[in-house]
């Protein structure tokens, strides 16, 4: 079975994470989908960035939620990775949805209820988008299910017992479980297969570990280097 390859924050091994250039690199590398993270700006616009603050991946300072969109868009989100990416902006979710269209699936990770509401408001404008919404906040996913019965959902987890996560995911009508890669086991995979849930562990870049989990029967994976995974 072919693995579904999710490019973690884009092709983050080759380009600055969560930028359009990283997403384009992931598509060129043959990724099937792109994982990205969303926070809201001070003026309520969904922007694509992992951290709550901008220091690690831009030349700015401050919390995303305290900066207006115009301020966020002026930041350089590329130079920290390499000089050739200087001036790469923080994307807004609108432009990523428009760019991806129906070519690539988007795994949109959200952290809080405000981002979830903004996402639900935005998605009707992109009917061709193939979206999977994931979160570590399972109550948030349950609230999204109540608001939108057809929204594809993925349950992220890293330490919580998988039996409990699986029960909640099934009750919520989720599509997939996204465990940290060292949480994957034969019993977990067998239970998910019986339940019809896909299993996409994160974040895998080591070839040996990828081969081992592939033999166990994972459905796909999250990786920073989709080109390398595709060669295996």
User: What does the domain layout of the chain look like in residue ranges?
Assistant: 4-51+92-230
SS3 147: helix
Cα(37)–Cα(56) distance, integer angstroms: 15
Q: What is the pLDDT along the chain (232 residues), one digit of tens a residue?
A: 689 999 999 999 999 999 999 999 999 999 999 999 999 999 999 999 999 999 999 999 999 999 999 999 999 999 999 999 999 999 999 999 999 999 999 999 999 999 999 999 999 999 999 999 999 999 999 999 999 999 999 999 998 789 999 999 999 999 999 999 999 999 999 999 999 999 999 999 999 999 999 999 999 999 999 999 976 6
The CA–CA distances, whole Å, from 230 to 114, 184, 202 equal: 36, 21, 16
Is 8 an annotated catalytic residue? Answer: yes
Cα(149)–Cα(82) distance, integer angstroms: 42
Is 163 an annotated catalytic residue? Answer: no
39, 50, 138, 178: the active-site residue: 50
Identify the residue whose tokens are 């595709």. Answer: 230
Inter-axis angle of helices 138-147 and 162-172, to 10 degrees? Answer: 10
| pLDDT value at residue 45 | 98
pTM higher than the cut 0.95: yes
8, 39, 138, 178: the active-site residue: 8
- Class (C level, CATH) for 4-51+92-230: alpha beta
| pLDDT value at residue 230 | 77
| pLDDT value at residue 231 | 66
b/e for 19-34, b at 16 or more Cβ within 10 A? Answer: bbbbbebbbebebbbb
């Amino acid at each position: 079975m072919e693995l579904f390859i999710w490019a973690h924050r884009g092709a983050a091994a080759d380009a600055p994470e969560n930028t359009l250039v990283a997403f384009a690199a992931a598509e060129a590398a043959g990724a099937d989908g792109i994982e990205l993270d969303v926070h809201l700006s001070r003026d309520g616009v969904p922007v694509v960035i992992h951290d709550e603050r901008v220091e690690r991946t831009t030349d700015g300072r401050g919390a995303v939620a305290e900066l207006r969109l115009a301020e966020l868009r002026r930041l350089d989100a590329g130079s920290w990775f390499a000089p050739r990416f200087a001036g790469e902006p923080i994307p807004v979710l609108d432009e990523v949805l428009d760019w991806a269209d129906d070519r690539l699936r988007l795994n949109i990770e959200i952290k809080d209820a405000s981002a979830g509401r903004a996402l639900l408001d935005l998605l009707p404008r992109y009917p061709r988008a193939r979206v999977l919404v994931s979160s570590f906040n399972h109550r948030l996913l349950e609230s999204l299910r109540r608001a939108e019965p057809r929204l594809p959902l993925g349950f992220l987890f890293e330490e919580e017992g998988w039996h409990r996560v699986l029960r909640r995911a099934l009750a919520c009508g989720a599509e997939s479980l996204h465990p940290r890669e060292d949480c994957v086991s034969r019993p977990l995979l067998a239970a998910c297969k019986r339940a019809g849930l896909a299993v996409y562990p994160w974040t895998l870049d080591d070839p040996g570990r990828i081969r081992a989990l592939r033999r166990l029967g994972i459905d796909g994976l999250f990786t920073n280097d989709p080109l390398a995974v595709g060669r295996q």
